[in-house]
Amino acid sequence: MSATATGTVDTVETETAIKTVTARTVVDSRGNPTVEVDIVLTDGSLGRAAVPSGASTGAREAVELRDGDRSRWHGKGVDRAVAHVNGEIAASVRGREAADQEGLDAALIALDGTPTKSRLGANAVLGVSLAAAKAAAAARRLPLYRHLGGAAAHLLPLPMMNIVNGGAHADNPLDYQEFMIAPVGAATFAEAVRMGSEVFHTLRRDLLAAGHSTGVGDEGGFAPALRTAEEALDFVTAAVARAGYRPGTDIGLVMDPASSEFFRDGVYDYAGEGVRRTPSEHADYLARLIDAYPIVSVEDPMAEDDLDGWRELTARVGERCQLTGDDVFCTHQALVRDGIRTGVGNSVLVKVNQVGTLSEALATVATAHEAGWTAVMSHRSGETEDTTIADLAVATGCGQIKTGSLSRSDRTAKYNQLIRIEEELGNSARYAGRSALRGA
């Protein structure tokens, strides 16, 4: 590829150059429309990617373009994003080398021309970014994790398995959004999945015996009518023990309060409990929970706008508990750098659709690792059967993945892909376990 005297770009077509780009509307795990992109290279290699969608979203996330036409898909249509892929984006990337991920993503960012990818839509841009990576991997006859991670990619992540849903992910009074289990003592990833499944089904029986519903939320965890974090943690801890495992030793607990969702007018409004807590009181409450239960990680313990609260909690418990920023960082490298510099948390949640291109997400992971922070590869509440994040977890060696419960095939697809990867790696596979956690 070379620049002419007029500044336009001439492309030299190779076997791995992008030949066709095709987008369509498909449905995600909530039955809402999302963007799927196919990229075919000159040699016939195909890459396909479907874009996830979040419900609990950070204010600084890249913009997911929706049509807003209430007569179609209740306003959530993605026809404009699909049209952008099939038109302007396709014309721009056709002939580009698929294996030049950074160059392709830089071109997509420049084409959009906005800080949040709001003109073309992050869902349009990301679909093309991920599909190109998959096509390039296919052309090299390599699995995606090997194409992106090279020969060193062999670490299977510790899974954070969501087994109780609340907050924006469920229709129950529970303020906190997720209660998860992490099989820190498993020997292999496959064993971690078995342990998680056994606890999941034990919890189901316990909830039924206590008269609770065992319907599930968006991410496959149960959504019983619990009101307090203690109630949820008590049920989960008991289920771990009743399944034959030692809480904290074999299986740690993880929480995602999604605190931005109930931070209003400078206070944390626990509607389910009928309690309002100041930032210091909220931090005190979280610290007491961390002391009382085998909690190894807390995601978004403080709201994205409560940076003083973040720093207070990090100073108090950051040496003994992982504090993972989602809304506060939105997978943006610059925001993570600010957090590292100012003492906000010690870990970052990585969601590729929060930032909009694969290259930017990979750069965020690298920045976290360079600072001694951890990174957690993550799904969204609106998922698809696409298993890209499973490969990304192995490719980056981040050692942790959050991809939902042990129910709903949009969640279990990622676990199944990691089981396949572990099998493919054979003796070189290593399960991260407890060592992946900050403060473990």
Residues in CB range of 439: below 8 A, 6 or more apart:
296, 318, 319, 320, 321, 322, 346
**Which tokens hold the place of 389?**
């994040």
CA dihedral sign of residues 366, 368, 374, 379: negative
What angle, rounded to 10 degrees, do the helices at 279-292 and 229-242 form? 20
Q: How far apart are CA 195 and CA 403, in angstroms?
A: 16
Q: How far apart are CA 89 and CA 209, in angstroms?
A: 54
Torsion, Cα 275 276 282 284, to 10 degrees, reads -60
Q: For the purposes of burial, counting CB atoms within 10 Å of the CB of 95, is it exposed (0-12), middle (13-18) or buried (19 or more)?
A: middle
User: Are 346 and 20 a contacting pair, CB within 8 Å?
Assistant: no
Residues in CB range of 7: below 8 A, 6 or more apart:
none
Stretch (H or E) spanning 129: helix 122-139
Q: Which of 351, 360, 414, 422 is catalytic?
A: 351
Nearest alpha carbon to residue 161 among 194, 207, 206: 194
Q: Which residues are annotated as a binding site for (2R)-2-phosphoglycerate?
A: 177, 351, 380-381, 402
The question of whether 351 is a catalytic residue gets the answer yes
Q: Which residues are annotated as a binding site?
A: 169, 177-178, 256, 299, 326, 351, 378-381, 402
Q: How far apart are CA 285 and CA 177, in angstroms?
A: 16
Please provide the DSSP assignment of 209-265 as one string.
HTT----B-TTS-B-----SHHHHHHHHHHHHHHTT--BTTTBEEEEE--GGGGEET
**Which tokens hold the place of 193?**
């999945």
Q: Which residues are annotated as a binding site for Mg(2+)?
A: 256, 299, 326
Q: Which of 219, 261, 312, 422 is catalytic?
A: 219
Torsion, Cα 192 198 203 208, to 10 degrees, reads 160
Q: Which residues are annotated as a binding site for substrate?
A: 169, 178, 299, 326, 378-381, 402
Pairing of β 158-165 and β 2-3:
unpaired
Beta bridge partners of 356: none
Distance, CA of 121 to chain centre: 19
User: Are 407 and 200 a contacting pair, CB within 8 Å?
Assistant: yes
Nearest alpha carbon to residue 304 among 270, 348, 368: 348
DSSP-assigned letter for residue 62: P
Q: From residue 154, how far is each of 160, 310, 366, 430 by CA, in Å?
A: 19, 33, 17, 6
Question: Catalytic residues, which ones?
Answer: 219, 351
